[in-house]
Amino acid sequence: MSEAVLDVPQGLIEALRNARHVVALTGSGISAESGVPTFRDAQSGLWAQYEPTELATPEAFEADPKLVWSWYQWRRELVAAAQPNAGHRALVELAGRVPRFDLLTQNVDGLHQRAGSCDVVEYHGNLFRDFCSARCGAPDSIASAATEPPPCPRCSALLRPGVVWFGEAIPSIAVDLANAACAECALFLSIGTSSLVWPAAGLATLAAANGAVVVEVNPHETGISDRAQYRLAANAGAVLPKLIDLLLR
Ligand code: APR
């Protein structure tokens, strides 16, 4: 959406200026402008025949570790070639402009960290980590470039990508940090997420229950649009820098 069309309500700017604690929850939409397909975009090439939900599961890895591993290696290459965009960078700027800022992401692409964000709470893990599929206690490792899942150096079970798969629990540390932040924040930004996947989808409601101003940044309506006092129906890469610009005026 062009800058001229983007109308940011004065009430939102005042709320942002006065907020002593801001939480941002991001989804794959914030990485869309970096060229990383959103989670529900159609897969391309070889992978067009698969639904992510068919591959991102412990059962799929158990049945065909090499196939699942190859899919992640393809995603790793795709994401490694992408660059953080103005939306990611605006959140780095925002973190330096509010007394307390918590960044929660459902994304596994690491683009927030590459943009300069610190202490990112990764709800669904990170594409560029591996861990032991038998969870033997071996420490996580940097993603292997091997074409097949390598053996765990400690127990020889296969290593797997360090992401949370469908049907798996969100790391409890991420849940605790996210819930604590949402229970205390003054303003909650839901950015580029369809708010379909729980428990992340419940965070806007948790923030609203504590009296936070809820703001949604998404060109399309979602399951939490009705809880948002403000909806900015535009791309994060246009909206977030605009919010920073207005905040600093
Ligand atoms: N700016 C803001 N929002 C955008 C943009 C953009 N440039 N482009 C797309 N969107 C919005 C879409 O309208 C959609 O609502 O981003 C959202 C992306 O939704 P999904 O593809 O469902 O991704 P996400 O919400 O992150 O999925 C959550 O579900 O499948 C699991 O683990 C997966 O982390 C993922 C989780």
Regarding the beta carbon of 33 and ligand 1, being less than 6 Å apart is answered: yes
Crossing angle of helices 10-18 and 236-247, in 10° steps, is 70
Ligand 1 centroid to Cα of residue 238, in Å, is 16
Q: How far is the CA of 236 from the centre of ligand 1 (A)?
A: 11
Q: How many CB atoms lie within 10 A of CB 96?
A: 9
Q: Can you give the pTM of this predicted structure?
A: 0.94
162-187 confidence digits (pLDDT tens): 999 999 999 999 999 999 999 999 99
- Whether 32 is in the pocket of ligand 1, judged by its Cβ within 6 Å, is yes
Tens of pLDDT along 33-71? 999 987 666 676 777 788 888 899 999 999 999 999 999
Q: Is the peptide bond before 99 cis (omega within 30 degrees of 0)?
A: no
Strand partners, 101: 22
What would the pLDDT profile of 138-154 be if each residue is shown by its tens digit? Answer: 999 999 999 999 999 99
* CA-closest residue to ligand 1 atom 14: 194
User: What spatial distance separates the first Cα and last Cα of the chain, rounded to whole Å?
Assistant: 22
pLDDT at 42: 62
Q: Give the active site residues.
A: 124
Taking 70 as the threshold, does the pLDDT of residue 5 lie above it? no
**pLDDT digit string, tens, across residues 212-232:** 999 999 999 999 999 999 999
Mean pLDDT of the chain: 93
Residue 100, helix vs strand vs coil: strand
